Amino acid sequence: MEIAFYLSALVAVLATLGVITNPNPVHALLYLIISLISVAMVFFALGAPFAGALEVIVYAGAIMVLFVFVVMMLNLGETVVAQERAWMRPRVWLGPSVLSGILLLTLIATLWGGDAGRVIGGETLTARAVGSLLFGPWLLVVELAAMLLLAALVTASHVGRLPEPDKPAVSRESGARKEAS
Amino acid sequence: MNWLSEPVAASLIAMLQALVILLGAVLLGAVMTVVERRLLGLWQDRYGPNRVGPFGSLQLIADMIKIFFKEDWIPPFADRTLYVLAPGIAMASLLLSFMIIPITPGWGVADFNIGLLFFLALAGINVYAVLFGGWASGNKYALLGAMRASAQTLSYEVFMGLALMGVVAMAGSFNMREIVNAQEGLWFVVPQFFGFCTFLIAGIAVTHRHPFDQPEAEQELADGYHVEYSSMKFGMFFIGEYVGMVLVSALIVTLFFGGWHGPWLPPIVWFSLKTAAFLVLFVLLRASLPRPRYDRVMSFGWKVCLPLTLINLLVTGAVILIADPL
C-alpha cells in the first residue's frame, strides 16, 4: 500500500501545483478535482476507505460542482486568462515561493531528525468504527456542528428568499430561481 | 503447468469475470437503445424500427455503423481538452460503478466494505461529464442544459444517498453482498417501500431519463448539453445514458429486490429477470409520462422527496432500536 500512498500523494501535489499555475479558471478547477480525488486515494491507501469515499462524495462530488457551476456562469473569457498570465510573472511569485521554500526545508529537516511517528498500518477503519466514534465520545461536537449547519441553512434560505410576486407571470421565474439557488 | 498455481488461477478468473461484466454492461446498454425504440413503438401503437433484419434485430448494427463513420467534428470555439474529456467521464464513471454489484454468489468484481458509498462517489463524479460537456461546447443551449443537469443532479443526489441509508441501517453494512444476504427472508422493498420509491425517482433523475430529462429537452434546448457533439463522442453520451439505466436497475434489484435470491431458478436467471423488469419499467415511464416543468422538478425533489426520505430514515432507525435495543 505504500506505493499507492506515494503515487497518489505525488499526483495530489502535482495537481495542486496545476491549480495554482493554470491560467484558465475551469481547467484550474479540474486540477483541483483531481487533487481532491488523489487525496481520497491517500485515505484509501492509509486504510480509511470511509473517509476516502466521503471525500469524493462531499468535496469532489458536491462542493466542487458548485465551484464549477459558478465559474461557468461567470463566463470568464480570454481576458481573465490574460490577466492570470500577467500575474504569473516571476517577479510576482519568486518572493513568496522563496519564503515557503524555507518553511518546507524546515519541515523536512524536522521530520528527518525527529520521531518517525506511526507508519502505515495494515488495519482498515470501517464505517462502523467511525460511526461509533462520532456518536460515542464525540457526540457533543457532532451535535454542535449540526446546530451550526442548521443555523447556516435557515439563514441562507432567509437571505435567498425573494419578495412575494405581484403577477403570476413573475412567480414562475422567481420560483425557478429560488429552487436553483 | 507450474505457474498456474492456485492464486494465479483465481486472479485470472477474477479478471475474466470483470471483463465479461464490463462488456456485458456496455452491450446491454447498446442493445437497450433498440429495445427501447421497439417497446416505445409497441406502447404507442406504431411499428418502431422493424426494417433491418428479422423483426429489426440488426438495427443495432446499422446504428453502430452509422455512428462510427460519422464525421467527428470538434467546434472551433470549443475548449478542446474538456470537450474530449467529458464523454469519457460520462462512460467511465458509470461503468466503474458496476464493480460493486454482486450478480450471483460467485460473480462480481469487487467486494468493498464501503460498496454503496463507492456508487454514490462515482455518481457524484458523473455530474462533471454533463457540466464540462455543456460548458466546453461553447454553446448557450448546451450551457443551459449543463446548468439544469448539475442543479438537478445535486438536488436529487442528496436524497438518493438518504434513501439508501434505510437499507444500510437494516442490513447493518455498506457491503453489497451483505445487503443481498440480509434480504434472504424478506426483500427490503417491503419494509423500505418509501426508500424504494425515492431511490427510483432519484435514479431516473440522476441518469436524466425521461420524466427528468429537462437537461436535454429537445423542445426547449435543442438537445441540451450534447448538442455540439457528433459521432462516437455523442455515442458515448448516448450509450452512457443507457448504461446508467442498466446500472440503476441492477442497483434497485440488489438493494430492494433481493438480488439473486429467488425460488427454483438459478441465481443468474433471477438477477437478469429482475433487472430486465426494471429496464422495461424505465421505458414504460418514458412512453407514458409527460415532462414536468423544470422548477416543479426541483421543488418536488426538495419539498416532497427529501422530507419523505428523512422521515423514512427516522422511522427505520426507531423501529430498529425498538426491535433490538442496544
Cβ distance of A49 and B298 shorter than 8 Å: no
Terminal-residue alpha carbon distance, chain A: 42
User: Is the Cβ pair B124, A57 closer than 8 Å?
Assistant: yes
User: If you measure CA to CA, which chain A residue comes closest to B153?
Assistant: A62
Classify the C-alpha dihedral B157-B162-B163-B164 as positive or negative.
positive
Q: Whole-angstrom Cα distance, residue B220 to residue B298?
A: 17
Q: C-alpha distances in angstroms, A137 versus A168, B77, B318, B326?
A: 53, 56, 22, 17
Cα gap B160→B197, rounded to integer Å: 10
Q: How many residues does chain B have?
A: 326
User: In B, which residues are within 8 Å of A127 by CB distance?
Assistant: 113-114, 117, 174
Q: What is the pLDDT of residue B9?
A: 82
Hey, are the CB atoms on B298 and A62 less than 8 Å from each other?
no
Structural domain total, chain B: 1
What is the span of the domain harbouring residue B258? Answer: 71-323
pLDDT, tens digit (0-9, with 9 covering 90-100), for A118-174? 666 667 777 788 888 888 889 999 999 999 999 999 999 888 887 776 665 555 555
| Nearest CA-CA partner of A19 in A88, A90, A75 | A88
Block residue for cell numbers 470537450: B83
Residue B14 lies in a domain: no
Mutate to test the interface with B, among A30, A38, A72, A73 (most CBs of B within 10 A): A72
pLDDT tens sequence for chain B (326 residues): 566 677 888 888 888 888 888 898 888 888 888 888 888 888 888 887 888 878 777 888 888 888 888 888 888 887 888 888 888 888 888 888 888 888 888 777 778 778 888 888 888 888 888 888 888 887 888 888 888 888 888 888 888 888 888 888 888 888 888 888 888 888 888 888 888 999 998 988 888 877 777 666 666 677 777 778 888 888 888 888 889 899 999 999 988 888 788 788 888 888 888 889 999 998 888 888 888 888 888 888 888 888 999 999 999 989 888 887 76
| Nearest CA-CA distance, residue A56 and chain B, Å | 6
Interface contact flag, A175 B295, Cβ < 8 Å? yes
Q: Do A62 and B120 touch (CB under 8 A)?
A: no
The 10s digit of each residue's pLDDT in B224-280 is 777 788 888 888 888 888 898 999 999 999 888 887 887 888 888 888 888 899 999
Distance from CA of B152 to the nearest CA of A (A): 8
Residue B64 lies in a domain: no
Written as one letter, the residue type at B248 is V
- Taking residue A119's Cβ as centre, other Cβ atoms within 10 Å add up to 6
* DSSP code for A97: H
Q: Which residue of A has its CA nearest to B86?
A: A30
Q: Per the domain annotation, does B61 fall within a domain? A: no
Please answer whether residues A15 and A32 qualify as being in contact, where contact means their C-beta atoms are separated by less than 8 angstroms: yes
Query: Residue B121 is nearest to which of A30, A57, A73, comparing CB atoms?
Result: A57
Residue B25 lies in a domain: no
Choose, out of B79, B85, B117, the residue to mutate when testing the contact with A (most A CBs < 10 Å). B117
> Which pLDDT does position A181 carry in this prediction?
47
pLDDT at A10: 92
A chain contacts of residue B151, beta-carbon cutoff 8 Å = 69, 180
CB pairs under 8 A between A and B: 87
Highest mean pLDDT among A35-44, A67-76, B169-178: A35-44
